[in-house]
Structure 1
Amino acid sequence: MIRAIALDIDGTITDQNRRLDVSAVGAIRKAEDSGITVCLATGNMLCFAKTTSVLLGTSGPLLAEDGGVIFDQRTEETCVLDDKSDELKKGIELLEERFGKIQHTSSSLRRQTGRALEKTFDLKEASELFRENGLNIAIIDSGFAFHIKDPAVNKGKALKKIASILEISTSEIAAIGDAQNDIEMLKSAGVSFAPANACSEAKEVSTHITKNAHGKGVKEAIGFILQKNE
């Protein structure tokens, strides 16, 4: 029995231009109406997740900043996981030494547990640069930006915290996501779905790959969950 759904936002319920795919909206509300708690899980900031939650009508805890920030909507309590602010600062300095001036996204400097950078440099080279200099920080591609963060912070670990808040097990949670920053969440959930547009790494760890992309894929996944719950 699936009792909650952890749902990525960008690239999953939005299209490649970050516009909401309305195909998903009715399915999300149908899941909530059936008693399944929908939990938004995004690499974006908490304020973005809160706004999206209100518009979609989701009731579950919010997972923001790739799992670095968790917000319980029932109690309005926020949990911020430790980050590596000093190492992140050093990492950005190294990136600018190698690639020139690094462009942050508009929300980057307001983040509490990491930074989001425009995709203007080589990801693999940046990762190797951190390794060579002994920095224990991760860099991942969210599909829309490069995120640098504490490697201990990810959506999979945050999913366990969400399960605890909801007083259920992770086996009772379904996860839907499309990008590299969703991989740990997809692996930790009881059942997982990658929409047709997902990156190959997300598809490899998911138990199901939908025939449709973006919001239509989410609608397909939720329909499957509701049918199995009957």
Structure 2
Amino acid sequence: MTPPLVLDIDGTLTRPDTWGIDPRIFDPLRAWDAPVVLATGKAFPYPVALCHFAGIPELVVAENGGVVYTGEEVHFTADPDAPRAVAEAYEDAGYSLGWGPEDTVNRWRETEIAVEHSQPETPLRELAAEHGLEVIDSGYAYHVKDPAVDKGAGVEAVADAVGFDLAETVAVGDSENDAATFEVVGHSVAVSNADEVAKAAADEVLETAHADGTLSVLERVRDGS
């Protein structure tokens, strides 16, 4: 039987040269005959759009668990006010979120904020702590979020709503925000470009990176090996 999947996006479904989605992932996901959950640190519209382009049902955990979509109902699991206050204080201190004036990274973000990697990390962490929040590094950005919220809890909520067994589920990811997902599934896989937190949390660490690694897992799991 084909197992359900939980897949991160950046660093997991992407190409190493551009960080764009590797188009080779579309056909296997479209043909997958079990639930596929996209669990990401990206803002909610991004994984929903990816589901559309892939032609798969919209099962989404976005913003590191802050937004959960079961295909029928959207759940917001964190309050946006504190992250926004951190962003305001960070900018008042003379720093920038790093995405330019239109900030399409945060424009549609509902429950957290993301700060570009070129920006100072230490003052961001200090401000986040003052507001009872944490900063996690997705490998793409620094995310200021509620510490009580994570991808794992979001994945559990989707599994409960859809009715699939997490013990039979395979997850693939690449960064510390995937560790919580790895804790709730039956088998977890870190691609070779994963950070040390993800590798330590995973049941298996691949020798191949990015979408190459993920595609190898999908092929192996589909073939039952």
TM-score bin (small chain):
0.7 to 0.9
Alpha carbons 2:64, 2:177 under 8 Å: kept? yes
Distance change >3 Å, CA 38–CA 128, structure 1 → 2: same
Residue 22 of structure 1: aligned partner: 23
Residue 79 of structure 1: aligned partner: 75
Among 111, 114, 129, the alignment partner of 1:113 is 111
In the alignment, structure 1 residue 165 sits paired with structure 2 residue 161 = yes
Distance change >3 Å, CA 62–CA 96, structure 1 → 2: same
Alpha carbons 1:140, 1:147 under 8 Å: kept? yes
Residue 201 of structure 2: aligned partner: 205
Residue 3 of structure 1: aligned partner: 3
After superposition, the CA RMSD in angstroms is: 2.2
- Report the structure, 1 or 2, having the larger helix content: 1
The Cα shift of 1:3 comes to 3.1
Residue 102 of structure 1: aligned partner: 97
The Cα shift of 1:9 comes to 1.0
Alpha carbons 2:8, 2:38 under 8 Å: kept? yes
SS in 1 for 2:9: coil
The Cα shift of 1:129 comes to 4.4
The Cα shift of 1:184 comes to 0.8
Alpha carbons 1:27, 1:222 under 8 Å: kept? yes
Residue 36 of structure 1: aligned partner: 34
1:227 aligned partner, one-letter code? D
Unpaired runs of at least 5, structure 2? none
Residue 63 of structure 1: aligned partner: 61
2:28 aligned partner, one-letter code? A
TM-score by length of 1: 0.85
Cα distance in 1 between the residues matched to 2:23 and 2:192: 17
Alpha carbons 1:156, 1:188 under 8 Å: kept? yes
Cα distance in 1 between the residues matched to 2:132 and 2:49: 33
Cα distance in 2 between the residues matched to 1:93 and 1:46: 22
Unpaired runs of at least 5, structure 1? none
1:205 aligned partner, one-letter code? A
Cα distance in 1 between the residues matched to 2:79 and 2:108: 14
Cα distance in 2 between the residues matched to 1:213 and 1:110: 29
Cα distance in 2 between the residues matched to 1:22 and 1:102: 30
Residues paired across the two proteins, number:
221
Identity %: 28
Residue 46 of structure 1: aligned partner: 44
TM-score by length of 2: 0.87
The Cα shift of 1:191 comes to 0.6
